[in-house]
């Protein structure tokens, strides 16, 4: 079975899906996207992902080409027509194809809509037992990091800086003062048994996994605070966690070459990881009933 993708109303094998070189996604990075994990062929938190997509589209003034039921139909068809039970979906909407001009096409053109699927491989037990390494860097992105924009050059360069250092992630610091997020993840800090999360604002992506982790903390009486996290607090954390749709919850055990806490995944990670796995299973059971 070849990978099947969705492009502008049709389903194609990946190799046959083509867009114009004048697509504004290609020319300007003028578009937005979503990444949605799929467990046992069910899209996880689909409503929340579609709502975030709507927020991103509103922010960049692209009309949503589909209502929620059409998106759900497309998503479910892609899930059914691809091979593995666990997948992750990439949804991508650009402003469409037009002669190159920075201002929006006038009259407006039809947005380009693309959906593809990859097999989802969540972090292996060996990685979870050891944790991953990260580096810190200046957050040199724009002031609308809440938009899930496809123009990701700063994030690409920041993640590559981590890769060059043999690390998994770059944690960004704004104004040499406070932590925002990872190049492609949200970051939590643990200090004296309290889970600290940076507030959702224009300087970070409102992660769906971030929400799940905070809901679990709330439901299970884990002390937590949502507030600005200072650079010093990041650098002296007892534990660091990174979260994303594809990585779920991962412990960061080495930061800028220094051990985080005792250099091993800590009790907050163990607790949240177990809760996250149980929650995932329960949600799937609920859907099956």
What is the rounded distance in angstroms from the CA atom of residue 26 to the CA atom of residue 19?
Answer: 9
Q: How far is the CB of 148 from ligand PDD (least distance, A)?
A: 7
Interacting residues with ligand PDD (CB under 6 A):
35, 155, 181, 184-186, 205, 207-210, 243-246
Which of 148, 228, 247, 288 is catalytic? The answer is 148
Q: How far is the CB of 37 from ligand PDD (least distance, A)?
A: 8
Which residues are CB-contacts of 189 (< 8 A; sequence separation ≥ 6)? 179, 195, 196, 229, 233, 234, 237, 239, 240
Sheet strands side by side (includes 31-39)? 10-13, 4-7, 112-119, 87-94, 31-39, 42-43
User: Tokens 């954390």 appear where?
Assistant: 237
What is the rounded distance in angstroms from the CA atom of residue 249 to the CA atom of residue 235?
Answer: 20
Q: How far is the CB of 106 from ligand PDD (least distance, A)?
A: 31
Residue placing its CB nearer to ligand PDD in the complex, 76 or 246:
246
148 catalytically annotated: yes
Q: How far is the CB of 52 from ligand PDD (least distance, A)?
A: 7
Active site residues per annotation: 148
């Amino acid at each position: 079975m070849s990978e099947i993708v969705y492009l502008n109303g049709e389903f194609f094998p990946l190799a046959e899906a083509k867009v114009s070189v004048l697509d504004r996604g290609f020319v300007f990075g003028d578009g937005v996207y979503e990444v949605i994990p799929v467990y046992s062929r069910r899209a996880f938190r689909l409503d929340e992902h579609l709502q975030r997509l709507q927020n991103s589209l509103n922010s960049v003034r692209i009309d949503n080409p589909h209502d929620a039921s059409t998106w759900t139909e497309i998503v479910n068809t892609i899930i059914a027509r691809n091979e593995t039970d666990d997948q992750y979906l990439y949804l991508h909407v650009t402003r469409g194809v037009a002669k190159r001009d920075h201002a929006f096409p006038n009259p407006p053109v039809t947005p380009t809509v693309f959906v593809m699927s990859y097999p989802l491989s969540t972090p292996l037990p060996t990685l979870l037992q050891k944790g991953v390494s990260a580096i810190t860097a200046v957050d040199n992105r724009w002031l609308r990091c809440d938009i899930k924009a496809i123009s990701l050059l700063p994030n690409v360069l920041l993640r590559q800086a981590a890769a060059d250092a043999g690390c998994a992630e770059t944690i960004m610091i704004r104004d040499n003062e406070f932590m925002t997020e990872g190049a492609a993840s949200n970051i939590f800090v643990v200090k004296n048994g309290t889970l600290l999360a940076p507030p959702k604002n224009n300087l970070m992506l409102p992660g769906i996994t971030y929400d799940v982790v905070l809901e679990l903390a709330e439901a299970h009486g884990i002390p937590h605070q949502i507030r600005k996290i200072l650079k010093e607090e990041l650098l002296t954390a007892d534990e660091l966690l990174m979260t994303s749709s594809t990585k779920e919850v991962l412990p960061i055990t080495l930061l800028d070459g220094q051990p985080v806490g005792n250099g091993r995944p800590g009790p907050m990670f163990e607790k949240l990881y177990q809760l996250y796995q149980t929650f995932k299973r329960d949600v799937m059971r609920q859907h099956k009933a």
